[in-house]
Amino acid sequence: MGSPFGVFSRYEESRERTVPDRVLIKRLYKYIRPYKKNLLIGIVTIVLSSITGLLSPYLHKVAIDQIISPLNLSGFLWWIPVFVIVTLFNYLLQYIQVFQMRLVGEHVVSEMRDEMISRLQKISLRYFSEGEIGRIMSRPTNDANRVRIFLRMSLTEIITDVSSILGSFMVIFALNAKLASLAVAILPVAVVLSWLLGRLSRNAYRKVLSTLGGLTSQINESLSGIKVIKSFVQEEKAINEFKVTQKKNVDSSIRAMLISSTYQPFVMSMRVIGSALILWFGALMVVNGEITIGTLVAFVEYQFSYFLPLMTLVAQYDQYQSAMAAIERMFDLIDTKIEVEDPPADRAINIGRIEEVRFENVTFGYDPTIPVVKNVSFTIEKSKKLAIVGQTGAGKSTIINLLARFYDPNEGRILINGHDIKDIKISSLRQQMNIVLQDSFLFPISIMDNIRFGKPEASDEEVIEAAKTVGAHEFIMKLPGGYHYMLQEGSSNISIGQRQLISFTRTLLMNPRLLVLDEATSSIDPYTELVVQNALKKLLEYRLAIIIAHRLSTIRLCDEIIVLDHGTIVEKGTHAELMKKGGIYGAFYRMQFREEEGIV
């Protein structure tokens, strides 16, 4: 990992990156290779189109020298059809090249975006907790779109311009080497300046992309926290913070535009100087009989044929630098290290049922230098239920994260059925367990599909039966459309208690061997808790369970309780044993459960 703040943080994106363009292009070609036939057709038609475009000035030379000057107007009888055929053929080639190059661009970016999304599904939770979601989102959206535009349009323009420039050089040197040498004498100056501005341009456009990612992140945070913002009357603060972030993006964009805007005036100046030199010395050569008027006219037209493409090429080089910066950022995501990986296939263990969970001296910290849990050891087996109690920040949820193998311990080990958790196939482990959170996430799809999310093959009857068992069926049937009722984003059209009941139903339908409840009933009102208590008992039957809870009614379902304090197990036993001991759990009980028990 590149920084202590995550791959997609402000810190990481502000780092200077100097990956050579040739390395990026070589990697990009891996995605282009399956479509190299389309690319080849596109390039060939681009070159042919450039050649047919270069025929027009030469046909003008022929018309002046062989038809107009000698007043041989009958020559137009063959000249006009040839000119029309060449022009129409040029348009046909342009159509083919545009279609083929856009086809390549769409497919390449689609595959890169697929790979980025696939990587996002596999990389560790650390990167989402430490990085900024908006900056992560910017890579498969904003950056991918820049690359898409470059491959669909800018690459075509670059190849066309290069072909036109080279073709023009070949023709003018064939017409008259002396005048051609004069015409191209000033081009090295333009090339050198373009190279210097290109280096500045790439850094400027990387900054633009970075600030754009920050802008996306700012918008995402504001919209996600809009309820909190309004509750604390912080709308003006949110607006001002957005303006500051937007100003950074605008300033970086203006700087990039200032650099790119120097291209065209410079190239146009070179063109004017070149035209003046060609007309001056060309006129002298016509007077001296060294060239014809038609040749001079053709030279002026060919000067347009390589100076206009040169101006466009320099502008496209600006787009090229922007695309290279975007490609580099996309590969940053694709190359993100998967911190928690499956074991090698030859030794990966598929577990049938979780019969035992054992923590042996486990130490872990999200920052390895600051442990969150220290030397934690416990064992649960068969159908035992374990409650984990402790103050906020004691490390309760961290234990669950380690058990689900969202992270790996820094020290110690976790054993499942006697096997090191690192030797177990991750999908096999997680299919045998289910975590119900305090605020379980539901997707903006129908209730039926949400319940069936972990078991897509479940029938409607199985879904309804699970909902009846949990006690969710009654309220679901009161909703418009019943089980086909569509949830809004953030499940804002149902209550928190209803959301949790749907989550319980989803868990029961999966029938996991190991059930983890992480403050799962803390957001449910007392009436709803009465509804789910019997369902919860049924849910816990004949299965291992780890319960993080504050409510006595839930903790009393457990066979053993461990008490965490600053990441360390300080007490362990049953409710009665810990109450008799009168330690931290006793004090915690009296403070948290007094109202529930009616103790004065």
- Which range has highest mean pLDDT (9-23, 333-347, 585-599)? 333-347
User: How far is the first Cα of the chain from the last one, in angstroms, to the nearest whole number?
Assistant: 53
Regarding whether 192 and 90 lie in a shared domain, the answer is yes
CA distance 198 to 318: 7
> 227 lies in a domain?
yes
Regarding whether 345 and 226 lie in a shared domain, the answer is no
- Label residue 600 by pLDDT band (50, 70, 90): very low
Query: In the predicted model, what is the mean pLDDT of residues 173-186?
Result: 82
Query: In the predicted model, what is the mean pLDDT of residues 385-404?
Result: 88
At which of 293, 309, 334 does a domain end? 334
CA distance 277 to 516: 82
According to the model, what pLDDT value does residue 174 have? Answer: 85
Q: Judge whether residue 423 has pLDDT over 90.
A: yes
Alpha carbon distances (Å) from 476 to 150, 443, 448, 473 = 50, 16, 10, 5
Element (H, E) at 373: strand 373-381
Query: In the predicted model, what is the mean pLDDT of residues 505-511?
Result: 86
Answer for the pair 389, 579: CB distance below 8 angstroms, yes or no.
Answer: no
Regarding whether 475 and 407 lie in a shared domain, the answer is no
- Which range has highest mean pLDDT (398-407, 439-448, 543-552)? 398-407
Q: Token digits for 118?
A: 């696939």
Element (H, E) at 411: strand 411-416
Q: Judge whether residue 192 has pLDDT over 80.
A: no
**Which CATH number belongs to the domain containing residue 120 in this structure?**
1.20.1560.10
Q: Judge whether residue 422 has pLDDT over 90.
A: yes
Q: Judge whether residue 513 has pLDDT over 60.
A: yes
According to the model, what pLDDT value does residue 35 have? Answer: 92
According to the model, what pLDDT value does residue 447 have? Answer: 93
Q: Token digits for 344?
A: 């090698």
DSSP state of 89: H
Q: Judge whether residue 340 has pLDDT over 90.
A: no
Pairing of β 356-364 and β 411-416: antiparallel
- Label residue 592 by pLDDT band (50, 70, 90): low
Query: In the predicted model, what is the mean pLDDT of residues 253-276?
Result: 76
According to the model, what pLDDT value does residue 409 have? Answer: 93
The answer to whether the Cα torsion of 116, 117, 122, 124 is positive or negative is positive
How big, in percent rounded to 5, are the helix, strand and coil portions of the chain? 65, 10, 25
Q: Judge whether residue 3 has pLDDT over 60.
A: no
According to the model, what pLDDT value does residue 361 have? Answer: 95
Each residue of 449-489: pLDDT tens digit?
Answer: 999 988 889 999 999 998 988 888 989 999 999 999 999 87
At which of 334, 353, 381 does a domain end? 334
Q: What residue type is assigned to position 209 of the chain? A: L
Q: Judge whether residue 328 has pLDDT over 70.
A: yes
CA distance 460 to 468: 12
Q: Which of 119-123, 259-263, 453-457 is least confident?
A: 259-263
Q: Judge whether residue 2 has pLDDT over 50.
A: no
Q: Token digits for 32?
A: 């282009």
According to the model, what pLDDT value does residue 594 have? Answer: 58
Alpha carbon distances (Å) from 68 to 71, 73, 416 = 5, 7, 93
> 312 lies in a domain?
yes
> 5 lies in a domain?
no
Pairing of β 544-548 and β 514-518: parallel
Regarding whether 469 and 402 lie in a shared domain, the answer is no
For residue 222, the SS3 value is helix
For residue 196, the SS3 value is helix
Regarding whether 504 and 556 lie in a shared domain, the answer is no
Regarding whether 146 and 35 lie in a shared domain, the answer is yes
According to the model, what pLDDT value does residue 599 have? Answer: 40
For residue 423, the SS3 value is helix
Q: Judge whether residue 26 has pLDDT over 70.
A: yes
Q: Which of 225-239, 462-476, 504-518 is least confident?
A: 225-239
Percent of the chain with pLDDT over 70: 88
Q: Which residue has the higher pLDDT, 357 or 190?
A: 357
Q: Judge whether residue 247 has pLDDT over 80.
A: yes
Regarding whether 104 and 180 lie in a shared domain, the answer is yes
According to the model, what pLDDT value does residue 38 have? Answer: 92
Q: What residue type is assigned to position 345 of the chain? A: A
According to the model, what pLDDT value does residue 555 have? Answer: 80
CA distance 421 to 432: 13
Regarding whether 363 and 305 lie in a shared domain, the answer is no
Each residue of 46-100: pLDDT tens digit?
Answer: 888 888 877 787 787 788 878 887 787 787 888 888 888 888 998 899 899 889 9
- Label residue 4 by pLDDT band (50, 70, 90): very low
> 537 lies in a domain?
no
Q: Token digits for 345?
A: 């296939």
Burial readout 61-84 (b: 16 or more C-beta within 10 A, e: otherwise): bbbbbebbeeeeeeeeeebeeebe
- Label residue 280 by pLDDT band (50, 70, 90): confident
CA distance 264 to 160: 18
Q: Judge whether residue 358 has pLDDT over 90.
A: yes
Q: Which residue has the higher pLDDT, 7 or 380?
A: 380
Q: What is the overall mean pLDDT for the chain? A: 82
Phi, psi of 460 (to 5 degrees): -60, -40
Q: In which residue are the tokens 């050569």 written?
A: 285
> 532 lies in a domain?
no
CA distance 528 to 514: 24
**Which CATH number belongs to the domain containing residue 376 in this structure?**
3.40.50.300
- Label residue 263 by pLDDT band (50, 70, 90): low
Q: Token digits for 410?
A: 């820094």
Number of domains in the chain: 3
According to the model, what pLDDT value does residue 276 have? Answer: 81
Alpha carbon distances (Å) from 318 to 21, 38, 239, 248, 377 = 14, 25, 32, 20, 59
> 599 lies in a domain?
yes
Answer for the pair 445, 459: CB distance below 8 angstroms, yes or no.
Answer: no
> 528 lies in a domain?
no
Q: In which residue are the tokens 């650099």 written?
A: 259
CA distance 416 to 433: 12
At which of 334, 357, 386 does a domain end? 334
Domain that holds residue 420: 340-432+515-521+545-600
Q: Judge whether residue 557 has pLDDT over 60.
A: yes
Q: Judge whether residue 360 has pLDDT over 90.
A: yes
Q: Where are the alpha helices (DSSP H) in 20-75?
A: 21-32, 36-62
> 494 lies in a domain?
yes
